[in-house]
Structure 1
Amino acid sequence: MKHDIKSLTRAEIAELVKELGQPSFRAKQLTQWLYGHHARSYDDMTNLPTELRQQLAEDHPLISGSMINRQVSSDGTRKYVIEFPDGARVETVTMPSRSTDGSAKLSICFSTQAGCPMECSFCATGKGGFTRNLTIGEIIDQIVIAQTDMELRASSLVAMGQGEPFLNYDNTLEALHIVNSKESLNIGARHITISTCGMVKGIQRLSNEPEQFTLAISLHSAQQNVRNQLMPAMANTPLPELKRALTEYRNKTNRRITFEYIMIKGVNDTDEALKHLSKYCEGMLCHVNLIPINRIPSSPYQPSDSVTMRKWVDALAKRGVETTIRASRGSDIAGACGQLKNSL
């Protein structure tokens, strides 16, 4: 049975090279071609023996995704639709900016699944259904395609595109281990964020990873009934259970947690909602990102007004909770949070 070479982990590549009777250093060379030089053909791998390249091409095809659509926002954000050979599609978003010294920065929001099974009520991706998990190579392909198009190296990565990363934990983490490595993109772990709906087992596994990846939780409400309404797939994970897992994560890693909180007028932006969120953050090293909801077709939800947003920032700050309002980018091309649905 043929397996795409980029669906294999580095350990599996090393084992494959051994099975083919090649010295162990060939595995490092092969990995560098795949993820350091981003070769699109075995013919490019000139320091590998011809016989090995032929064997790999026959049994382990080198498959890459292709950009089939690109849209550019008025704010400079770019959204790509990337298609894989089986027809599965994902969206990837780039957000360029400038640092305080004027140098160019680039954040890439990538997907870990084609579609999403979580069916959050405010999200266009979930309404489109779930196709499948992405392979290691398909996750990395998005980053490479985006960097190439922007002609700029990524300074930060966020697994906040389509899908729930912890439902594709092994492939997602192996991809991040690779892009963090010096042989590949060499992006620092602290500049890589993994966003989850709050999968407890995934949080526990992440606490054992040696790299200091940043953890973000899509919270959206600290009231159980409201969260169940917004995120029905998470109804079987009570908020106290999630907080215990996050507290254990914090105690084990000493890393700050980010709470992503989409602000929806009259739903989760009430005084009662603010009180519950303030209470939930007590005793935790956390940062809260308030995000006015982005409109999607046929949704009844409306974004909170600026006065309410400012009130929340001030109130949480008084409780010692660092809070920011995250400006939406790319909403005019349906590239902002909650809008990704593989539209051309």
Structure 2
Amino acid sequence: MDLSLLRSTLEELGQPRFRFDQIWKWTAGGAAGYHEMSNLPAALRDELTARVPFSTLSELRRASSSDGTDKLLLQTADGRPIETVLMRYKDGRRSICVSSQSGCPLTCTFCATGQMKFGRNLTAWEILDQALALRRLDALDHCVFMGMGEPMMNLDNVLEVCRRLPDLGITNRRTGISTVGWVPGIDKLTESDVPVRLAWSLHAPEDALRSEIMPVNERYSLDEVKAACDRFYERRRKMIFVEYVMLGGVNDSVAQAKQLADLLEPWRYKINLIPYNPTDSMYDSSSQGAMEAFRQTLEDEGYNATIRLIRGRDIDAACGQLAAKAANPKLKQRVGV
């Protein structure tokens, strides 16, 4: 919902200020439309239906995984495709993975989104409407900006959404913003008033390899990104999550685990090892044995290191797989559209 348009429309209609709060409370609580808002006059509900679209996005396709994950393919008013994901866990968590851009301009070689044509930054309301669409499916309590796009390149809109997420049940301390290492965005987040968590998509322990698999490293080196992350830690005193996708024979050796341990500090960084999910790229996933040896090496060096549980791989909803494939006519058969 475009909350700016909602507010201006209510003012134009001469409605009292509390109407905005009433409507937002219904929307954040999972209402399916204005027709459910029983404490609004019927004439106002009809007027809003005609003048303020309940969502800035339209749903093109929904896929459900055998593990309880749901993925939505959404489209903006100007035809930009977006994917967003709801992950359900056995411990009761309901976590959403939200996109900040349609496509991504940074072309990491292992990521399906990087293979898309970049569209544009999403507006705050297009980002928020992803969360609202998922809220209509289930109660929510965690959010990661780890979907399509680089959130730090669209940080003002991302932070605007973060300020609204607590109304959906997602507190700031349960919200994380992931970056491949966009230093200006990290510094801007550090100085912001929104106390969310920071996650760094690292994926290689030294510059030469990182530049090979992540071209952004040519712009912001490991030392530059780490310095920005350290500034975040010094200001916020919040441990930083490191995401490290495990690519078989590329970045998964015990020696590379020791390099990673030497690069970081265990009191500042928690390391999350991510099994590589197929994206039609040149890579294979690390073996379970290699991942466990890597994790154990980090643990021996004093780190809290875990191997991420895979969610939604069978519907191309796992980490690195979001590519809005149904928006590409050549790929419709593959996704069953």
**Map of 1:182-261 to 2, 5 A cutoff?**
184-261=167-244
Q: Is the 8 A contact 1:125 1:339 kept in 2?
A: yes
> What whole-Å deviation, never above 9, does each CA across 1:107-136 have from its counterpart, x for those lacking one?
111111111111100011110121111122
**Map of 1:127-206 to 2, 5 A cutoff?**
127-149=115-137, 152-180=138-166, 184-206=167-189
Farther off after superposition, 20-29 or 334-343: 20-29
Residues 1:57 and 1:110: Cα distance change in structure 2 (over 3 Å): same
> What whole-Å deviation, never above 9, does each CA across 1:222-255 have from its counterpart, x for those lacking one?
2101111111023210111111111111011000
Indicate which of 313, 322, 326 corresponds to 2:304: 322
Partner of 2:103: 115
Q: Distance in 2 between matches of 1:45 and 1:171?
A: 31
Farther off after superposition, 62-71 or 78-87: 62-71
Q: Distance in 1 between matches of 2:209 and 2:97?
A: 27
Q: Is the 8 A contact 2:27 2:132 kept in 1?
A: no
By how many angstroms is 1:75 displaced?
2.0
Q: Distance in 1 between matches of 2:40 and 2:262?
A: 59
AA paired with 1:71? Answer: A
Partner of 1:301: 283
> What whole-Å deviation, never above 9, does each CA across 1:52-105 have from its counterpart, x for those lacking one?
9959965x6554323221222222222221122222111111211122xxxx33
Give the length in aligned residue pairs: 326
Q: Is the 8 A contact 1:42 1:57 kept in 2?
A: no
**Map of 1:255-270 to 2, 5 A cutoff?**
255-270=238-253
> What whole-Å deviation, never above 9, does each CA across 1:13-58 have from its counterpart, x for those lacking one?
7688778877655554554455456574599696489699959965
By how many angstroms is 1:260 displaced?
0.2
Q: Runs of 5+ in structure 1 lacking a partner?
A: none
Q: CA RMSD in A?
A: 2.8
AA paired with 2:95? Answer: S
AA paired with 2:174? Answer: H
Partner of 2:76: 84
Farther off after superposition, 263-272 or 248-257: 263-272
> What whole-Å deviation, never above 9, does each CA across 1:271-324 have from its counterpart, x for those lacking one?
442232111113651100111211112x22111112211111111112111100
Q: Is the 8 A contact 1:247 1:284 kept in 2?
A: no
Q: Is the 8 A contact 1:78 1:94 kept in 2?
A: yes
Farther off after superposition, 44-53 or 282-291: 44-53
Partner of 1:105: 93
Structure 2 length-normalised TM: 0.86
Q: Is the 8 A contact 2:266 2:304 kept in 1?
A: no
SS of the equivalent of 1:328 reads coil
SS of the equivalent of 1:207 reads helix
SS of the equivalent of 1:335 reads coil
Structure 1 length-normalised TM: 0.84
By how many angstroms is 1:220 displaced?
0.4
AA paired with 1:337? Answer: C
Partner of 1:340: 322
AA paired with 1:218? Answer: S
**Map of 1:31-42 to 2, 5 A cutoff?**
31-32=24-25, 35=28, 40-41=33-34
Q: Distance in 1 between matches of 2:210 and 2:41?
A: 53
Partner of 1:126: 114
Q: Distance in 2 between matches of 1:305 and 1:289?
A: 16
Q: Distance in 2 between matches of 1:105 and 1:136?
A: 25
Q: Runs of 5+ in structure 2 lacking a partner?
A: 327-337
Matched, 1:65 2:61: no
Residues 1:296 and 1:283: Cα distance change in structure 2 (over 3 Å): closer
Q: Percent identity?
A: 36
> What whole-Å deviation, never above 9, does each CA across 1:124-158 have from its counterpart, x for those lacking one?
11101211111222212222222323xx2012111
AA paired with 1:141? Answer: D
